[in-house]
Chains A and B, each alone.
Chain A
Amino acid sequence: MLSSIWAIFLKDLKSEIRTRYALNALLMFVVVTISMILFATAGEVMSGELLSGLLWVVIFFSAMSGLSRTFVSEEDRGTVIFLQLATRPSVVYFGKLLFNLVLIFGINFFVVIAYLLTMENFKVKSFDVFLSALILGGLGLASASTIIAAIIAKANTKGTLYPVLSFPVLLPLLITTINMTQLSIEGAKLAETFGHLRILFSYFVVVVIASYLLFDYIWKE
């Protein structure tokens, strides 16, 4: 079971490295969005609070442009049956979740580096708070967007539908991570954000369990 999940993950990773469908476009997307923010706010002094919100806007839309690929490409190329015939639905789900987790951490890493380099007023005082917001936020983001990617892969208008469906589901997560990022700029201690951490972690657990239970229905008709 675990080795099969790992095999699906490796397959997706290898395919991504070979084709670079998502990766190149994603990196350019991040660059474009951040430049857009820079141009739109040229000359303005932005508060750290505003910048923490914008950081998650960039992360959200980057995730929306890349995380649906794992399912959409299988559906578009007709390789879904290959996987359906090879293993249980839950194995596919966890393999894809793992891949999206790696992808979202990659995105987060790149976005944060680019952001810290370009936004002068974005000074993180407590790195432990900031880092835990990124990590736990990434977990939640990957969990919700994986199951929604599985849903939209079967619909007709995939691209536009993805952020529309994901946003309301991700909103509790995003509000919490934005708030945590603001706190990290204000220099809050990690212990103060314990409630936030609990919310983020339970969000991840709840969404993964619900997805695990519901994925069979989406995967096979």
Chain B
Amino acid sequence: MEFRLIGKDIRKSFGRLLVFDSINFELINGSSLAIAGKNGSGKSTLVKIIAGLLSPSSGEVIYQVDGREIDKLDWFKFVGFVAPYLQLYDEFTGYENLEILAKIRGLKSYEAKIKNVLERVNLYSRRDDLVRGYSSGMKQRLKYACALLHDPIVLILDEPTSNLDSEGVEMVWAIAEEQKKNGILIVATNEPEELKMCDEVINLDELKLKMKRQIVK
């Protein structure tokens, strides 16, 4: 299956505030993209647009499978998403969260998959504890489990290593390597070290400078 993720002239403004303009990229299986920029530069906004959580003010994001465009309503089948502002249900256990997600997604024979992802993020021993009792690092690991549950083709990581210990950071790097074998990896971060996870970089700060120069001209 050949998957293509295309961004065409993406522009987003909130009311009068222009966040970014004319962002273009094209990703296929095995490619990866890092989105860099300072706090407030619009990294999260851009990844939300790519994941279909927000609509761009103009321009478009296209998901293509073997040259056929995917309806926006079905994007969720292809996307795995980890972000600090993604919250889990804290009245449920880690296992229940994954079970709920699997059922909502309509995954078949999900028990094995849940066990697999829980082991991958090293939470299997704590699977029956309420998420309320999890540390912030454990919650972050569980988010990875949720994102990987359906083997997404596009994995989007916003601030991938926030709250994680060194062992967790290693886990993230392993997941990123694994993802790049067949899928697409998108990482939004302001840590220079993490930019190395990806082959290409979009720097929103530099983009903004360019935009300003254009306005001055």
Touching in the complex, A and B, CB below 8 A? yes
Binding site for B on A (CB under 8 A): 1, 3-4, 7-8, 10-11, 14-15, 18-19, 77-79, 81-89, 91, 216, 220-221
- Measured as residues with beta carbon below 8 angstroms from the partner, the interface class of chain B is 20 to 34
Number of A-B contacts (CB under 8 A): 72
In contact, B103 and A4 (Cβ under 8 angstroms):
yes
Pairs A–B under 8 Å by Cβ, sample size 17: A4-B104, A7-B104, A7-B106, A11-B104, A15-B89, A15-B91, A77-B90, A78-B87, A82-B86, A82-B101, A84-B53, A85-B53, A85-B76, A85-B79, A86-B104, A89-B73, A216-B73
Partner of A91, one of B51, B86, B88, B104: B104
**What is the bound-complex CA distance between A85 and B101, given in angstroms?**
10
Most buried by B among A79, A85, A220, A221: A85
Contact of A7 with B53 at beta-carbon distance under 8 Å, contacts A81-B85, A82-B89 already known: no
Chain A residues within an 8 Å CB radius of B91: 15, 18-19
B100 at the interface (CB under 8 A from A): yes
Please give 7 more A-B residue pairs, beta carbons under 8 A apart, in addition to A4-B106, A85-B81, A221-B55.
Answer: A3-B103, A15-B91, A15-B92, A18-B91, A82-B88, A82-B101, A220-B55
- Cβ–Cβ contact B87 & A4, under 8 A: no
A3 shortest CB reach to chain B, Å? 6
Closest CB-CB distance, A77 to chain B, in whole Å?
6
Query: Contact flags (1/0) for B66-91 with A, using CB distance below 8 Å?
Result: 00000001101001010101111111
Q: In the complex, how many angstroms separate the beta carbon of A180 from the nearest chain B beta carbon?
A: 38
Residue of B nearest to A83 (CB): B104
- Against A, the Cβ 8 Å flags (1 = close, 0 = not) of B97-119 are 00011011110000000000000
Determine the residue in chain B with the shortest Cβ distance to A92: B104
Q: Distance (Å) between the CB of A156 and the closest chain B CB?
A: 16
Known A4-B103, A7-B100: A79·B87 in contact at CB below 8 Å: yes
Determine if A88 and B87 form an interchain contact, defined as CB atoms under 8 angstroms apart: no
A220 engages B52 (CB within 8 Å): yes
B54 at the interface (CB under 8 A from A): yes
A4 and B105 within 8 A (CB) = yes
Q: Which residues of B contact A77 (CB under 8 A)?
A: 87, 89-90
A87 engages B92 (CB within 8 Å): no
Contact A220 B53 (CB under 8 A): yes
| Interface hub of B52, B73, B79 (most chain A Cβ within 10 A) | B73
In chain A, what residue has the closest Cβ to B80? A85
The 9 A-B residue pairs whose C-beta atoms are closest, nearest first, are A7-B103, A78-B87, A7-B104, A86-B104, A79-B87, A11-B100, A81-B86, A18-B91, A88-B73
- CB closest chain-B residue, reference A90: B73
With a cutoff of 8 Å between Cβ atoms, the chain A residues found around residue B74 in the complex are 88
Residues of chain B lying within 8 A (CB to CB) of residue A91: 104
Task: Point out the residues of chain A lying under 8 angstroms from B79, CB to CB.
Answer: 85
Q: Contacts of B87 on A, CB cut-off 8 Å?
A: 77-79, 81-82
Those of B32-57 within 8 Å (CB) of chain A: 51-55
Partner of A86, one of B54, B90, B101: B101
Pair B85/A85 contact, Cβ less than 8 Å: no
Q: Find chain B residues with CB under 8 A from A82 CB.
A: 86-89, 101, 146
Could you say which residues of chain B place their CB within 8 Å of the CB of A1?
106
A89–B101 Cα distance when bound, in Å, is 15
Cβ of B81 to closest chain A Cβ, rounded Å: 5
A220 (CB) vs chain B CBs: closest residue: B53
| A residues near B55, Cβ cutoff 8 Å | 220-221
Q: How far is the CA of A177 from the CA of B106 in the complex (A)?
A: 39
Chain A residues near B100 (CB-CB < 8 A): 7, 11
CA of A87 to CA of B79, assembled, Å: 11
Q: How far is the CA of A81 from the CA of B85 in the complex (A)?
A: 8
Residues of chain B lying within 8 A (CB to CB) of residue A88: 73-74, 76
CB-contact partner of B88 in A7, A18, A79, under 8 A: A79
